[in-house]
Amino acid sequence: MSPGQIQGLRLVVIFSMAITLVTPMICWALTLPVDRIFEPVEGDVSNIVHQILP
């Protein structure tokens, strides 16, 4: 394989990994009520962390 092909393959792998990581986060964010996103309450961060991590 030429260096160009290796570089392209690396980009494809990174891109697919990024999609795999980002997609569940976007889906999770869409399930939240909108006001919870735009009006964060102090002390809510720990609750959000517990929701993300079972």
43: left (phi over 0), alpha (psi -120 to 50) or beta: left
Contact between 18 and 10 (Cβ < 8 Å)? no
Is the pTM higher than 0.85? The answer reads no
- pLDDT for 47 equals 75
Report how far residue 45's alpha carbon sits from residue 20's, in angstroms, rounded to the nearest whole number. Answer: 24
Report how far residue 43's alpha carbon sits from residue 18's, in angstroms, rounded to the nearest whole number. Answer: 30
For each of the chain's 54 residues, which pLDDT tens digit applies?
788 899 999 999 999 999 998 988 887 777 776 665 555 555 666 677 777 876
DSSP-derived letter for residue 32 is S
Contact between 32 and 52 (Cβ < 8 Å)? no
- pLDDT for 15 equals 94
